[in-house]
Amino acid sequence: MNYWSVTALMTVESSFIPFPSEVVIPPAAYVAENPASALAVTGNYPVDVLLIVLFGTLGAVLGAIINYALSVWLGRPLVYKFADSRMGHALLLSGEKIQKAETYFNDHGRISTFIGRLIPGIRQLISIPAGLSRMHFSQFLLYTAMGAFIWNTVLALLGYLANGQKELIETYSHELSVAIVILFASAIVVYAVFRLIKKR
């Protein structure tokens, strides 16, 4: 339990390897907010919640870059072929899941790499259609980092409030992610309406 292990685990979580972020950030945040636990886990130094979130975000961005780079390098036919292979199925991938992520990306545009980071089932895969469409890399990094930071902040808050209890974290992380997406969607709609009114 240190910053580098959080980064490594979140890199795995954000790539195509199935690994839930709910078992990384919330427990780390709980340990960080409980000095006795931090001392027992780390041995001799405390961990800071903000740094947990930042290093978790770094890991998420690195994992997303892996997906993006592989998608650019392999191309659409090989990505779908791998997803439908035995190894792809072992990693809980499928052509249907890739298609779902790609449809979401095509429907919502580049901003989906930001919003998609907040949606379970889309989070890990949204980098793939971004790579397939050759999305501008700097925009991809910005949107991915913003979405990952918000998601990790939510998980850190859950870890603190739920006292590290896995069941509570799993229950409310989905509900919170839905609430966040609704809030952002509402903000986008309000912004679009104001722009339309101003234009008219």
55: Cβ contacts below 8 Å, ≥ 6 apart: 3, 4, 6, 7, 10
pLDDT at res. 1: 64
Residue 179 pLDDT level (bands cut at 50, 70, 90): low
How confident is the model over 14-52, as pLDDT tens digits?
877 767 777 788 888 877 776 665 555 555 556 688 888
This prediction has a pTM of 0.72
Q: How far apart (Å, rounded) are the C-alpha atoms in residues 171 and 146?
A: 24
| DSSP codes of every residue in 76-105 | HHHHHHHHTSHHHHHTT--HHHHHHHHHHH
Domain that holds residue 113: 3-199
Q: Kindly tell me if the per-residue pLDDT of 6 is higher than 60.
A: yes
Mean pLDDT of 83-101: 75
Residues 59 and 31: their CA atoms lie apart, in Å, by 19
Total of domains in the chain: 1
Q: Tokens in use for 180?
A: 């966040």
